[in-house]
Structure 1
Amino acid sequence: MKKVLFLVFFVPIMVFSQTSYEKAEKLFLQEKYTLAKPLFENALKESPNNLKTIEYLGDIASHNNDWEKAADYYERLKTLKPTEANYYFKYGGALGMRAQTGGKWVAIRLVGTIKDSLEKAIQLDPNHIQARWGLIEYYLQLPGFIGGSEKKAQNYSNQLLKISPVDGYLSKARIDEYFKRYKNAEKNYIKAIEVGGSKLTYERLAKLYNEKLLQPDKAVKVLESYQAKNKK
């Protein structure tokens, strides 16, 4: 009798919980983060160490630009599973955004942890592309007197060139843009188009023409070229 009562009361709770979680995932994928958040928070109360739930909540905080909260969630992830490269990448990325928006003293305090987290992601996954992008931005944005370096940014760009040529050329163009070497950036974006041909590569070149080289006609032609190439 006790076993029957256990099944009667416990099984519906399990079904409800699963359905609620699936609803939260669906809302998240639909980018309805405000609706998904309380459902994931309830799920986390029931299962405090569920990695996927914590990651979803961290991603929602990131979408909301709540970088401190996002970093807290991602730190929990890397503590629970210290062998997962992506958790270190997300943690370092969230701290990087905190540093950008929190002022000089916050940035100085976080600099070492950001670098260590992104490097750890690469150590765990030698082919981690996004962590290298993060380190490129890190070395570009950081003032020279606390470690900023184009040479180090170029080093990670060269690594990307070997792992993913399109990311390599895009990152080199990004570095050129940062230092206002716009003609060099143009050449690297063109190489990225030749290697990858994705919509992003065309958009980056068009943006360069439109915003930096002040050649809107060329920007239009680049986008028209992509559309013509991808007509069904």
Structure 2
Amino acid sequence: MKKLLCLIFFVSTMTFSQTNFEKAEKLFSQEKYAMAKPIFESILLEDPHHLKTLEYLGDIEGINKSWDKAMSYYGKLKILKPSNANYYYKYGGCLGMKAKESNKFKALGMISDIKFHFEKAIQLNPNHIEARWALIELYLQLPGIVGGSERKAENYAAELLKISPVDGYLAKGHIAEYFERYKEAEKQYSKAIAISGSKTSYQKLADLYKNKMNQPQKAKILLENYQERNKS
């Protein structure tokens, strides 16, 4: 009888936790983060090793720009499941944002750690697209004296081209645009449009026309073409 009561209590507790998790997950998907957070926290009290709850809480803190709190959750996830590439990517992303908001001296001390986490994500998942984009941006933004490198950014863009051609062309266009090679950027963004027709590809080329090449009419026509092609 005692064992039966324990089993009933265990099952009812698990059901309650699962119902709460589904409720919190739905709130998160609706971007009601302030409402989802205390529910996730109550679940974590019952199960401190619940991976998805830890990740959701880390995501919420990241959205709130509470980088240290977000990293505390992602740090636990790295320990609990060190083979998951996304945990390293998210930790590195928060670290990068923290560095961006820190003074230059402190930020310089974080660079190697940021690179490590993005590179680790790629090591664990060779097809990780977001980590390569993050490294491209890092190498573009850093001054050459502290590790910035157009060549390294181009290398990651070339890797993206093999994994996801549209990302590869967008990355090559982004690098060319960063260095004010606008005709080359136009060429790469046009290739991205040709193979994918994605909204992002059209927007990148339209922004280039409007904001960098002083061709607002060309940007307008391009976006109208996108809307025409994607009429429901």
Work out whether the TM-score is over 0.5: yes
Aligned equivalents of 1:39 and 1:102: distance in 2? 32
Deviation per residue, 1:189-224 (Å, 9 max, x gap): 111101111111111111112222222211111111
Structure 1 residue 14, shift from structure 2 partner: 3.0
Q: Does 1:6 align with 2:14?
A: no
- State which drifts further: 5-14 or 86-95: 5-14
Aligned equivalents of 2:88 and 2:153: distance in 1? 19
Structure 1 residue 183, shift from structure 2 partner: 2.0
Aligned equivalents of 2:52 and 2:77: distance in 1? 9
Aligned equivalents of 2:122 and 2:9: distance in 1? 47
Partner of 1:53: 53
Counterpart residue identity of residue 136, structure 1 = I
Partner of 2:64: 64
Q: Where does the alignment leave 5 or more consecutive residues of structure 1 unmatched?
A: none
TM-score of the two chains, using structure 2 as the length reference: 0.94
Counterpart residue identity of residue 115, structure 2 = K
Aligned equivalents of 2:202 and 2:121: distance in 1? 29
TM-score of the two chains, using structure 1 as the length reference: 0.94
Partner of 1:159: 159
- State which drifts further: 160-169 or 96-105: 96-105
**Moved segments of 4+, more than 6 Å:** none
Aligned equivalents of 1:163 and 1:192: distance in 2? 14
Counterpart residue identity of residue 213, structure 2 = L
Structure 1 residue 174, shift from structure 2 partner: 1.0
Q: Does 1:106 align with 2:106?
A: yes
Deviation per residue, 1:43-72 (Å, 9 max, x gap): 111111111111111111121122222222
Alignment RMSD, CA only?
Answer: 1.5
Q: Where does the alignment leave 5 or more consecutive residues of structure 2 unmatched?
A: none
Counterpart residue identity of residue 148, structure 2 = G
**Given the superposition, is the C-alpha separation of residues 11 and 126 from structure 1 closer, same or farther in structure 2, using an over 3 Å criterion?**
closer
Counterpart residue identity of residue 75, structure 2 = E
Partner of 1:28: 28
Aligned equivalents of 1:4 and 1:66: distance in 2? 45
Structure 1 residue 100, shift from structure 2 partner: 1.1
Aligned equivalents of 1:165 and 1:45: distance in 2? 44
Aligned equivalents of 1:106 and 1:128: distance in 2? 28
**Given the superposition, is the C-alpha separation of residues 127 and 7 from structure 1 closer, same or farther in structure 2, using an over 3 Å criterion?**
closer
Aligned equivalents of 1:9 and 1:49: distance in 2? 20
Deviation per residue, 1:87-133 (Å, 9 max, x gap): 11111111111111122123112101110111111111111111111
Structure 1 residue 152, shift from structure 2 partner: 0.6
